Structure 1
Amino acid sequence: MPPYSQSIPISNGFSQNHHKNNHHVSTNIITIDVGGQLFQTTKQTLTLAGSKNMFSNLFDSSEQQNMINNIPFIDRDPELFSILLSLLRTGNLPSKAKAFDIQDIIFEAKFYGIDDLLVQSQSNPSQFEAFDLEKSMVLPLSGRDSPSAIATTPNGSIHVSHGSKITSFDWSLQRKSTTLTSFAAIDSLLALSSNIVAAGATDFSGLQILDLDLGFVRQTLNWENVTKSSSTVQAIGVSPEFLFTSFESGRRNSNSIMVYDLNSFKVVSEIANNEIFGADLGSAIPSTKLNWVPSLNLLMASGSHSGPSGVSGNIKFWDLRSGNAVWEISETIDCFADIAVSDTLSAIFKIGINSGEVSYIDLRNFGSLNTWSCLGDARKINNVKKEGVGCKIEAHGNQVFSGKQGELQLWSEVLMGSSNNGKDRIFKKNILGRAKDSGGNRIASMGFGGNKMFVTRKDQQCVEVWQSSVRRF
């Protein structure tokens, strides 16, 4: 009789070795008994799990089993083990994993010490397929408050502010915690790590660094303005080294951008300090969006203001070394309702507040051109209905996503090669999802983490999760 009975199921693809004397071949093959079911794999496969897990102990056991035929036994669920073994072999969960609760798989992965591999497989940005996104689930929030801001992490976890609370979901989108803050409402939220966030409000002084796991304020950062009044937060941004915060004085007559060291939160510098003099409303515009542009090594700050003559705004690129603005774009015609910058596409994108149309400026002509190229109907730029009010736009990778009322739009560049002769670039619009996905509610925010896109809508107490249908767990 062979070393193990054929009546015991052996996973497909496993090699069997019935020749004990073929030592140089068999030493690479490891047989494991999990819950009464035999599995065979190789040392190379188990090595992919790393060194600090229970699989590393099987190497010594495999040497012993070749001499005394002692097969290591693990008293666990064999079906879940089969799924995790597929994860080790391919780097992805097999399709049969859909039949199991993700929490069961997580629990089992933690037992074997390979939960990090599971996180990587389920939050890999390379699995983000923009053209195949579908709404896969909804994350409900407690209470009556709608989300006011979201903050995502690279591994696909998300923090959501609603009212005075911040609710966190881990990478598997299970509710992790809800933290009560001192804010009446949170307007700006940025994830600094899986459990540390920076939070601020337009009607509450100071930027707070919060530890959501322990539920306390690690540090509060304030701007000492000339009027000695409170300093409310208008926007937060980050680079690999620095944390940026746009402050406005409580009297709304001065504003500034503070630059902090990302590790120590000590002040590095202050830029864009403005004070109002007389009727100079232009200097009163605080930056309400901060974006770091790696290829330019510059900080893009933008803000708008509604005055007697309509909505005006500006976009400035700041050099942190000199503290000077090296390029400025003034917005007076069809000012932006929202703005985004794509380092991958080398362009700034906006949604015009009058037209509701998407336009762009090519950053490859940085500093020499500040004329917008409209991707839609340019005749709407003087639209008195202001179709772009409340519209949102965000860039992710080489794609641009816009929310016009309840509709999600995806903009992607069409490569024309030399046939375009250096003329305006061509971008194509696609509509994401189905009509029932929108529900008629205006899109309030968009965020991206791992292989997921997160969407919130006005007056809805939940977060939509959009994932690629072919990759969805």
Structure 2
Amino acid sequence: MPPFSQSTPISNGFSPNHHHQSTNIITIDVGGQLFQTTKQTLTLAGSNTLFSNLFNSSHHNSIPFLDRDPELFSILLSLLRTGNLPSRSKSFDLQDIIFEAKFYGVSHLLVQSQSNPSQFEPLNLEKSMLLPLSGRNPPSKITTTPNGSLFVSHGSKITSFDWSLQRKSTALTSFTGVDSLLALSSNVVAAGATDFSGLQILDLDLGVVRETLNWDNVTKSSSTVQGIGSSHEFLFSSFESGRRNSNSIVVYDLESFKIVTEVARNEIFGADLGSAIPSTKLNWVPSLSLLMASGSHSGASGVSGNVKFLDLRSGNVVWEIEETTDCFADITVSDTLSAVFKIGVNSGEVSYIDLKNFGSYKSWNYLGDARKANNVKKEGLGCKIECHGNQVFVGKQGELGLWSEVLMGGSKIGKDRIFRKNVLGRAKDLGGNRITNMGFGGNKMFVTRKDQQCVEVWQSSARRF
């Protein structure tokens, strides 16, 4: 790097704007090397940062001096100018850049540049690294934050990784195994189990239980958690009584954790199988302002289930889909694609219902081979499906695939919609143990597999640090 770096060329001759330029340009001495930038660039760092102090120091007509590494300063100055780290930053340890960014007070800009969701390129994803976990238990659940922080439950432990995946910590819980996990912030998660009473709000930094939320069922027995979800203002928890004779979905305020309302409460009498199925997956649908709650049950006659769209204000079921022919092995909903997607437990094929036909359900539209729907080979057993952006990701046994919509003349109604299937990864990334979880955060995808004590990190090859 040259000893003198400048953002604006300096002219040796007279310029009518010379006075304006000289008052706008700031010279900084970092570790004996001079840098020049503008006041506007320094203000991009925000107030109460060291860069803003440099801006104020320039008013005294003296060159501020910092006894810091000039090369790392150059990288952060480039981050201020462009919003991205320069390519030369790849020759430095990311942890060194993080430490320096914290010193200058611009770590928030570093997080934004390195975990920007717009840098997520689905068709270019490759397995980039493995995150090892301590102990003998494989991951049971994973959850992420928008900036790419990752939380993994394995056995009675929850391991958290920061957005850079450089720092990890592990906390011991009171659960023997965690069956539901949801990130609420960079250090707080909601966790529950099907054999342990209560929904726990855990502060993983402090290693404490902030709240334990229970459902007051009629039999006054324990209330085990079957699923967790959230919207921008609510936390949802699906509970089942310890005696398995009642279930409900409780809605909490996301800030105070106070109960807001209760919906879809079922008291089971006799052989009412439909109401005996608790919801195990809760998805908020912003465009409809409805909660999609789904659950399935395996019995002597096969796998059956239901999908309910719930209005929180009235507590009513607005739309319900009964699943009997090819019940879902897994199911999700996409606001971006305006559709509900499932992978059939019998066929192993992906199908969808267009939300533009909301309330007028007739049948699922198969993206694969609809003829397999009636077989009972359970080819989809254990398969996973998740939506991220405008893509549908499928974990079928050990392989990852995604479905992308192909727009034909702008038509997006019913069977006129066309989706194309793609296989993810390079040849060496394909196959492996059955996929158990998929999660998305920032510009990364996280994958776990059966019996493996690690998490796979998938990134675009062009976006890796």
The AA in structure 2 aligned to 1:10 is F
Query: How many angstroms apart in 1 are the aligned matches of 2:14 and 2:74?
Result: 26
Give the counterpart letter for 2:289 in structure 1. N
Aligned equivalent of 1:246: 238
- What residue is the counterpart of 1:313 in the other structure? 305
Determine the structure 2 residue equivalent to 1:415: 407
Q: Residue in 1 aligned with 2:447?
A: 455
Matches within 5 A, 1:51-450: 51-65=47-61, 70-417=62-409, 423-450=415-442
Alignment-derived partner of residue 24 in structure 2: 28
CA-to-partner distance for each residue in 1:249-277, whole Å, 9 max, x for gaps? Answer: 11112111111111111111111111222
438-447 vs 102-111, greater mean Cα deviation: 438-447
Provide the secondary structure at the position in 1 that maps to 2:174.
Answer: coil
Give per-residue Cα distances to partners, 1:202-261, cap 9 Å, x unaligned.
111100001111110011011111122111100001011211100111111211111111
Q: What TM-score does the superposition give when structure 1 sets the normalisation length?
A: 0.95
Displacement, 1:368? 1.0
Q: Please, which moves more after superposition, 152-161 or 274-283?
A: 274-283
Aligned partners of 1:60 and 1:339: how far apart in 2?
55
Tell me what 2:4 maps to.
10
Provide the C-alpha distance between the structure 2 equivalents of 1:61 and 1:276, rounded to a whole number of angstroms: 72
**Distance in 2 between residues matched to 1:422 and 1:353, nearest whole Å:** 23
* Secondary structure of the corresponding residue to residue 174 of structure 1: coil
Q: Distance in 1 between matches of 2:6 and 2:37?
A: 11
- Alignment check: 8 A CA contact 1:291 1:299 kept: yes
Alignment-derived partner of residue 49 in structure 1? 45
1:3 aligned partner: none
Paired residue secondary structure (1:138): strand
Q: CA deviation at 1:177?
A: 1.7
SS of the residue corresponding to residue 417 of structure 1 reads coil
Compute the displacement of 1:382 (Å).
Answer: 2.3
Q: Secondary structure at the match of 2:244?
A: coil
Q: Give distance in 1, aligned partners of 2:275 and 2:461.
A: 47
Q: Let me know the Cα RMSD of the aligned residues.
A: 1.8
Q: Classify the secondary structure of the residue corresponding to 1:213.
A: coil
**8 Å contact kept, 2:7–2:38:** no
Alpha-carbon offset, residue 416 of structure 1: 0.4
Question: Partners in 2 of 1:238 and 1:284 — Cα distance?
Answer: 23
Which amino acid in structure 2 is aligned with residue 201 of structure 1? A
1:54-85 deviation digits (Å, cap 9, x = unpaired): 122222433433xxxx4222111111111111
- 1:338-377, CA deviations, whole angstroms, 9 ceiling, x for partnerless residues? 0010001000000000110000000001001241000001
Residues 53-62 or 283-292, more deviating: 53-62
Whole-angstrom CA distance in 2 between matches of 1:424 and 1:319:
29
1:296 positional shift: 0.3
Tell me how far apart the structure 1 counterparts of residues 56 and 248 of structure 2 sit (CA, whole Å): 62
Structure 1 unpaired stretches of 5+: 1-6
Greater CA drift, 381-390 or 340-349: 381-390
Distance 1:419 1:108, change over 3 A: closer
In the TM superposition, residue 397 of structure 1 has moved relative to its aligned partner by 1.2
| 1:292 aligned partner, one-letter code | W
Cα distance in structure 2, aligned partners of 1:90 and 1:226: 59
- Tell me the amino acid that sits aligned with residue 124 of structure 2: D
Change (3 A) 1:233 1:108: same
CA contact (8 A) 2:330 2:384 kept: yes
- Deviation at 1:20? 10
Contact 1:244 1:260 in 2 (8 A): yes
SS at match of 1:184: coil
Number of aligned positions between the proteins: 463
- Assess if the C-alpha contact under 8 Å between 2:321 and 2:361 holds in 1: no
Distance 1:358 1:439 in 2: 19
Q: Distance in 1 between matches of 2:12 and 2:103?
A: 31
Inter-partner Cα distance in structure 2 for 1:15 and 1:61: 22
The aligned counterpart of 1:4 is none
Q: Is the contact made by 2:229 and 2:235 (CA closer than 8 Å) also made in structure 1?
A: yes
Cα distance between partner residues in 2 of 1:369 and 1:27: 67
More deviation in 49-58 or 195-204? 49-58
Q: Report whether the alignment pairs 1:468 with 2:464.
A: no
Q: Distance in 2 between matches of 1:107 and 1:170?
A: 14
Q: 3-state SS of the aligned residue for 2:140? A: strand
Identity level (%) = 81
Distance in 2 (CA, whole Å) between partners of 1:204 and 1:313 is 24
